[in-house]
Amino acid sequence: MCGIIGVIDRKMEKMDGSSIRSALSMMDERGSGEGSGYVAYGIYPEYADCYAIHVFFDNIHETKPRVDELLGNWGWVIYDEEIPTHPSKLRKSHTPWRYFFQPNPRLSPSSETPDEDIVRNLVMRINTANNGSLVFSSGKNMGVFKAAGWPEDVADFYGIQNYEGYIWLAHNRYPTNTPGWWGGAHPFNLLNWSVVHNGEITSYGTNRRYVESFGYTCTMYTDTEVVAYLVDILARKHGLSKELVVKALAPSFWDEIDLMEGHEHYLNRAIRMTYGSAMMNGPFAIIVADHQSITGFTDRIKLRPMVAAESGNCLYISSEEAAIRAMEPVLDKVWMPKAGEPVIGRLF
């Protein structure tokens, strides 16, 4: 039922958040008013070298000093502030805060990617401490803005129209297996990866055990969280291309692989055998973003809708064509991707 949409300007020309607010509002019937959110890339150019860590605080006076101390032990907080919010119909259940943080790589000398591993470990430590704080965004020059509410109310609460980015994702949630709450709203993020998802990951238990074997911990009571961690492992840690990540998460059926020949056969067989525990089952449509691209794909029989479109330098991926046309009425090309087939938009 959820509504998802993503857009990338492949020449990095920035768009403000007003048009994606309108697009997500077109899919109000796909939500229940219990969770919506947005993510944009390129919004913090003045702190582009810092990790923008967004945190929900339950009681800022009690919990923020603990986060301050932890961050100070692992690097430097260049600047921090409460994320600006505005009056809306949304009930403010948490205080959203942002830190611009630089990790100290000397504190992780054995890591090949010390900055990223320090930030990842900090996210896990804060989110498992159960002390009234939750990190919901942790990448560079990007940020997630989400809450429990309708798309328009969440957008107005954060003033989404005041942010400008060259990549945007947005999500309108219809929770089925878990209650709606601020942390459970999409997008889900870790480092530079952000994910929006429509559907259900029925392999969540297997996928969760897989990511936990690499030191990740799921704390947000929704299956989509595990997708962000899977992408971080496969793309960042293991160095797989976007195409191979999709092959691992939504691989071809065995009978299809058996009909393949040569390199294609051996590659698909090797990916499925190596990443069997990362394979996702169930009905889903997913869009993943990082600073260089957006990638959309569905389950192997496409039990959730996905449509893609192009207009000039922009690639759009969404649950509905109407949402795309709310952003850009005149499109050069519109198509329905095949089941399991990735749609990838990269910067020129």
Q: ω into residue 103 within 30 of 0, thus cis?
A: no
Tell me the per-residue pLDDT of 278-331, one tens digit each, with 9 for 90 and over: 999 999 999 999 999 999 999 999 999 999 999 999 999 999 999 999 999 999
Whether 2 sits among the annotated catalytic residues: the reply is yes
Among candidate residues 2, 50, 218, 314, the one labeled active-site is 2
Q: Which domains does the chain have, with CATH numbers?
A: 3-40+144-346 (3.60.20.10)
Tell me the per-residue pLDDT of 135-194, one tens digit each, with 9 for 90 and over: 999 999 999 999 999 999 999 999 999 999 999 999 999 877 777 889 999 999 999 999
Integer Cα distance of 308 and 228 in angstroms: 22
**What are the Cα distances from residue 38, in Å, to 25, 114, 161?**
12, 28, 11
What's the start-to-end Cα distance of the chain, in Å? 33
